[in-house]
Structure 1
Amino acid sequence: MSGRVRPIEKFAKATAQCSVEAAAYGKCIVADYQSVHKDMCAKEFMRLKDCYLAAAKKL
């Protein structure tokens, strides 16, 4: 097997670096989970997405 990193491994490593953002997004969703709607936690999601993208670039 080559030294190439599988995409799922890269994803796992990147998301592991964003636990604070993931927790904030999860808390937002759980706060009113029975009436989740589009863009309900957009701000938290964008922070999580930005963290993941930044972490993925470093790998």
Structure 2
Amino acid sequence: MAMNNQDIIILFYLGLSPDHKGRKIEEIWEWDHDRLEYTHDYNELRTSAIALDVRF
């Protein structure tokens, strides 16, 4: 069975699945401010979760 976008986002935020670049959420949490500013694609998952009204 194929997963939908909401399932993918939830698994990522639960730490059970990496993002589209193979990064786990725990890795992104360890980034410093400069890396967060430089790397914009991590924010796509955050924005998608908000758009889908995913609550944790």
Q: Which category of TM-score, normalised to the shorter sequence, fits these structures? A: 0.3 to 0.5
Q: Which has the larger radius of gyration?
A: 1
TM-score, normalised to structure 1, is 0.34
TM-score, normalised to structure 2, is 0.35
Say which structure, 1 or 2, has more relative contact order (CA 8 Å, 6+ apart).
1
